[in-house]
């Protein structure tokens, strides 16, 4: 979404010099399968020391779904207490609200890959209207893309087809069973229609080109008066957010890692999995504290 399509501010700004914008799944929080990405191949999570270090931050249908390490939990608590954390996720609003992160709730959060800017947990209506207007100008309609996915994703290797807030679609697939070249075929079709494809684990997303986390994060930074944006993410849907940040970090796993993605000012974690997520949380906190200390007014003698 380009700035020249928007006119005027959406809300007054408050003053804070830095925000830490972070993707959630496989960046800050981890399923059991994703948590063990940093362990030796074949290691069972429940038999590793990591298992005892994990804390559940999301339940789904009565079962634990997402986790962080104890150190990451304490670090996220401090980020939230400082008021600098801006979660930026592809999750829907309902999926985002399932997560229970420690500390005060985030004042700003980005969901649906930038489709919604939540302010104190509630979608900003003016932002949603802007997104709808931009997507109408720049990409083929959601219904057309949804119909395409229903026609080409075959039941033999597709477990689920899902729509997210009528903004984008994704399929849960058996990657090994997909036909050779299928992802490239879908990527090409999407590109011809103003959309893009992103394969993350077992999920293949189709997202409008102008539905971007980074633009929503920039709006949150503007409202908060933050000149410094620290960003973290693991997928190609996060790339633009990382590129536009002051400094960025990605884990040593995921879609970006698989293609050795880099950008100026990028840090890559030493570890993968939940331990890499712990590194990311600590990096965000360290960077935020550095800016806050630098910007703090000096006490007079």
pLDDT tens-digit map of 56-73:
999 999 999 999 999 999
Residue 5 has pLDDT above 50, yes or no: no
Per-residue confidence band for 298, with pLDDT thresholds at 50, 70 and 90: low
Residue 9 has pLDDT above 70, yes or no: no
- Residue 168 and residue 207 in contact, taking contact as beta carbons nearer than 8 Å: yes
Task: Check residue 14 and give its pLDDT.
Answer: 61
Three-state SS for the chain is CCHHHCCCCCCCCCCCCEEEEECCECCCEECHHHHHHHCCCCCCHHHCHHHHHEEEEEEECCEEEEEEEHHHHHHHHHHHHHCCEEEECCCCHHHHHCECCCCCCCCEEEEHHHCEEEECCEECHHHHHHHHHHHHHHCCCHHHHHHHHHHHCCCCCEEEEEEECCCEEEEEECHHHCCCCHHHHHHHHHHHCCEEEEEECCEEEEEECCCCHHHHHHHHHHHHCCCEEEEECCCHHHHHHHHHCCEEEECCCCHHHHCCCCCCCEEECCCCHHHHHHHHHHHHHHHHHHHHHHHCCCCCC
**Averaged over 149-166, what is the pLDDT?**
97
Domain with CATH 3.90.1070 in the chain: 143-208
Share above pLDDT 70 across residues of the chain, in percent, rounded to a whole number = 94
Bridge partners of 112, per DSSP, are none
φ and ψ at residue 292, rounded to 5 degrees? -60, -40
Domain with CATH 3.40.50.1000 in the chain: 3-132+211-295
Per-residue confidence band for 7, with pLDDT thresholds at 50, 70 and 90: very low
Per-residue confidence band for 19, with pLDDT thresholds at 50, 70 and 90: very high
pTM above 0.75, yes or no: yes
Task: Report the CATH superfamily, name and number, of domain 3-132+211-295.
Answer: HAD superfamily/HAD-like (3.40.50.1000)
Per-residue confidence band for 84, with pLDDT thresholds at 50, 70 and 90: very high
Tell me: the pLDDT tens digits for 172-211?
A: 999 999 999 999 999 999 999 999 999 988 899 999 999 9
Task: Check residue 16 and give its pLDDT.
Answer: 86
Task: Check residue 4 and give its pLDDT.
Answer: 36
**Averaged over 249-264, what is the pLDDT?**
97
**Averaged over 231-246, what is the pLDDT?**
97
Task: Check residue 30 and give its pLDDT.
Answer: 98
Instruction: Specify the fold of 143-208.
Output: Hypothetical Protein Ta0175; Chain: A, domain 2 (3.90.1070)
Residue 223 has pLDDT above 60, yes or no: yes
- Residue 82 and residue 291 in contact, taking contact as beta carbons nearer than 8 Å: no
């Amino acid at each position: 979404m380009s700035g020249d399509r928007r006119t005027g501010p959406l809300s007054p700004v408050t003053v804070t010099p830095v925000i830490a914008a972070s993707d959630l799944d496989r960046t800050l929080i981890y399923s059991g399968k994703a948590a063990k990405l940093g362990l030796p191949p074949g290691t069972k999570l429940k038999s590793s020391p990591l298992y005892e270090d994990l804390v559940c931050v999301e339940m789904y249908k009565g079962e634990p779904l997402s986790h962080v390490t104890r150190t990451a939990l304490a670090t996220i608590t401090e980020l939230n207490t400082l008021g600098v954390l801006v979660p930026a996720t592809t999750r829907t609003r309902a999926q985002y609200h399932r997560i229970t992160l420690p500390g005060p709730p985030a004042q700003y959060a980005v969901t649906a890959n930038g489709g919604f800017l939540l302010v104190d947990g509630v979608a900003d209506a003016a932002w949603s209207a802007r997104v709808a207007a931009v997507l109408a100008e720049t990409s083929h309609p959601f219904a057309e893309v949804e119909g395409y996915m229903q026609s080409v994703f075959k039941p033999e290797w597709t477990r689920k087809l899902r729509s997210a807030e009528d903004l984008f679609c994704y399929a849960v697939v058996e990657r090994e069973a997909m036909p050779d070249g299928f992802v490239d075929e879908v990527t090409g079709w999407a590109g011809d229609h103003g959309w893009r494809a992103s394969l993350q684990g077992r999920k293949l997303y189709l997202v409008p080109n102008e539905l971007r986390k980074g633009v929503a994060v920039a709006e949150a930074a503007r409202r908060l008066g933050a000149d410094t944006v620290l960003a973290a993410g693991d997928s190609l849907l996060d790339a633009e957010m990382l590129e536009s940040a002051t400094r960025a970090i990605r884990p040593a796993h995921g879609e970006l890692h698989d293609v050795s993605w880099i950008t100026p000012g990028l840090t890559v974690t030493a570890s993968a999995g939940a331990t890499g997520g712990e590194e990311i949380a600590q990096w965000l906190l360290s960077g935020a504290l550095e800016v806050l200390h630098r910007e703090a007014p000096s006490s007079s003698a």
